[in-house]
Each structure stands twice: as C-alpha cells, then as structure tokens.
Amino acid sequence: MTAVAAPIETSQLYIGGHWVDPHSADRLEVTNPATGELVGSVPLGDADDIDAAVRAARASFDSGVWSARPPAERAAVLRKAAQLIEERSAEICALVSAEMGATPGDVATLQQLAGTGVLNGYADASDAYDWEETRHGLFGETLVTREAVGVVGAIIAWNVPLFLICNKFGPALAAGCSVVLKPAPETPLNANLLAQLFTEAGVPEGVISVVPGGVEAGQALVDHPDVDKITFTGSTLAGKAIAARCGETLKRCSLELGGKSAAIVLDDADIAASAPMLVFTGILNSGQACVAQTRVLVPRSKKDEIVEAMTAVAASFVPGLPAEEGTTMGPIINAKQYEKVRGYIATGKAEGATAAYEMEVPEIGTGHFVGPVIFTDVTNDMTIAREEIFGPVISVIAYDDVDEAIAIANDSDYGLAGSVWTADVQRGVEIAKQVRTGTMGINWYAIDPASPFGGYKNSGIGRENGREGLESYLEHKAIILPMGYSSEQ
C-alpha cells in the first residue's frame, strides 16, 4: 500500500496559481489521526492572506481570463483535472488517508471515485446546459443569459476532503468563477496538491487559491466584500453563523450541513441481502459522514431478526491502522471528536437504549478508535436519535406500520439523506416521495454526480451536483429586446 514517505513541509501559500510567502509566520501541523505521526505542515493563513487570495481571484475574474472562456473549454479542463487525479490516485489517496484516517481503499472509493465523478458530471452538465435562450413574453423577445456569480469562497470539512474539493471546484470552475478555498485545518495538504493539478489541467493564473487556516481565515473569507458567494460544507452550527453573516451583506451562499438520516426497512425486504449495506451506510467513514443512515427503522415484528443480521455484519469490521492490510475501519479524527462520540454512547445507555452490539477495540497506535455500536430499544425522542453523532453508532427504531415509519423519518431537524429497503421498488419510491429529505436510495444509498444533492431543514440550503449544482454558481440575466424585434429575421 502506498504511504506518505516523509512529512510534507510547505513554506508558502498557493495563491492564484503561484507559491507566495504568507503574511504570518504561524504554522499549521498535520498529524496522522491513527499514529500521531507528523504528516506535514503548512503556513497558517490569516485575514491578510485571505485578502491577497481574494484580490487575485477578483482580478482574474474581472479580466475574463477564465470567466469569458467558452463553457466547452472550461468543461474540457475539468475532464483533464479528473484524468490527472486518476493518474495519481495512489499518491493522493495515501495522502488523504494519512491526513484524516480513512483507509486508502475507502478514500479511493468514497472520495476519489466520487470526486472525479462529479468533475466529469459538471463537465457533462455544462455541455448540456442552455447558456443562452430566447423567450417570448408579453413584450416580445427576451434574451436570457447565464453568467458566473463571480468570486467564490469555498470552506470545507475534513471528513471527505478530496471529494469536497472536487465538488466545490467543479461547479465553480464550470460556471466561470474564480475560487478561494479554505480547507479544514486537519486536511490542508491534499488541497495544495489538488489545486496544482487543476492548474496543470489548464486553469489559468489567478483563478484558484488555497489558504489553510482556522476560524480567523474563515471569517475573513465570509466577510470579504469582493467575495460574491460562499459555499460551505460542515456543521449545522457553523453553517447558521455563515448564513447570518452572508445575510447581512446579501451575499449568495450554499450550505451542505449535517444529517440524521433514516433507513426505512419494509416488511418484505430481503434481510440477509440488505444487512451489509444497511450497516455500511450507517457507519461508513467510521461514521464520520453527513449522509450516514444512523436511524434504521424496522417493522416491530422483524426487529430481532434484522438486528441479528446487522450485528453479524458489524462484527466483521476490522478497526486498525489505515495503511495496514485487512483494516476496514480507521480512527475518529481527534480526541475531541472521540470524547464526543463516547459521550453519545453513554447518553444512549443512560436514556434507556440497549447496546445490542458494541465492539471493544484494543489500543491501536495513538489513535482514537470507536468500533461499531448498534442500539436497540431506541425511541425517536432520545438524544442518540435526534443529534448527529458523527461516529459509528446506529439506532434501530421499531415501528408498527408504514405511516408511523414515515412519520418517524420526518420527525427530525435534519433532512439530508435516507433510504427505503423493499422487494417492491415502486412501493419504495412512493414511500421515498413522502420523506422530507434531499436524497433517497432504494435498497442502497449513493450520491449520484448527475443528480441534485442537498438537504431540507437544518441540513442546508441549495443543491450540489448536476444541472442544479451548476446553476447555484450562476446569475440569470434578462436582456429585453425591442418590441417587434425578431431574432429570426
């Protein structure tokens, strides 16, 4: 398995396609969450560094060096970037694994495959998009055009950084925007590498910048007057603060936030066939996934049978050092998150839930590991059923009829993902239509690059992926033509 050979020490910031000296001498160290080893370090960007990056983005956007290029040319660059990522997949996946703790195999599947998929998906959406159209209305013809929103500030989380970078760069660049990316402090190294690959693919000078940093850098990006749109993936709490700041200046924003998704298992579901994916979608990425199906709703009459099947699957997971052969589950990102997850497990027991399965994990390296936990006797008013745990904890909730299952699924502050498990696909679709959530799967769950992804309620604002994701980076302009004028003349 490819591993990061030596710590990556970067002394400069990648601003506008060039390496430049940072304003501050402060450093941000990145350590492997499984071993505690130093993966590398980067400059800790501050408000001055953000300002330099935004000014580069503003100048490049206003010059038209990228925004004025034909959409087909921009789409071709996205496809080239996807190709370069695929060519260096082993190196990139090893780096991301070292930064955030997932196995390289999981990074390749959940992040690299998904990341290149959305880049190609946005290129396809751009090629199929009506960038200009003529409409006939009350006064005759109107030319409707679509233009890039401008300078985009992108702020992302640490849990799937490779995918998130692609899913921010993809639509912004396809639309013609310039982008300033603030990666999570835990995972800045892969952001620098990916930005260079996009430049190599053909993104011109000034269009892409990466400024690693903490709260100060994020606030400076959100508040900067030359940023036209903020796109954020992270916690609901942080998303609300960002939305409030954007609201004060009427800055466009799109937010992909938390989830507490429900998997509804119907009475005709194939339990043996469903159990592996049910468990996987609940604890994927060590449970550190906003789309995790952490509430499994089951018919009361089949609860014991389903829990037994899920327990057998959960027991097959192998926590361990991500780079070691046979490991299927990495650590929790850091001590703070570990304590949070353990606290939720204790709260579940204290509130009356039963841990039908709780894997005991021996000490591994210096990492903070939590094995799969499956709770039964859970009611939907319990803390573990209401709040996003961001750890490998599944709550099994029994229901008596389908209407009750739908009601339980909808009884949540979130609405990001979900699934229905049944032998009757059309029945599953009809139930899925009644669940107030942005994406649903039938007998599995995935994010499709060509289809909209986003949430209802506290799960966010706006959509990513496909035509809808591209449109969120565009302004629509109407040019009303003279009365009596015909473009067909």
Residues with a catalytic annotation lie at: 256, 290
17 to 3, 204, 207, 251, 260: CA distances (angstroms): 27, 7, 7, 25, 39
Q: Which two tokens stand for residue 8?
A: 């990556």
Q: Alpha-carbon dihedral of residues 261, 265, 266, 272, nearest 10 degrees? A: 160
Please check whether residue 188 is in contact with residue 30, taking contact to mean a CB–CB distance below 8 angstroms. yes
Q: How far apart are CA 187 and CA 191, in angstroms?
A: 7
- For 208, which DSSP code? E
Closest by alpha carbon to 69, among 9, 131, 11, 21? 131
Q: Evaluate the CA torsion angle 425, 378, 331, 189 in order and state its sign.
A: positive
As beta bridge partners, residue 375 has 355, 395
92, containing H or E segment? helix 89-100
Tokens of 228: 């036209």
Q: Round to whole Å and give the CA distance between 116 and 106.
A: 15
Amino acid at 132: E
Determine the 3-state secondary structure of 19 from DSSP: strand
Q: What are phi and psi of 233, to 5 degrees?
A: -125, 125
Which residue is it, tokens 């021996």?
362
Q: With contact defined as beta carbons under 8 Å apart, do 117 and 449 qualify?
A: yes
User: Tokens 């204290």 label which residue?
Assistant: 350
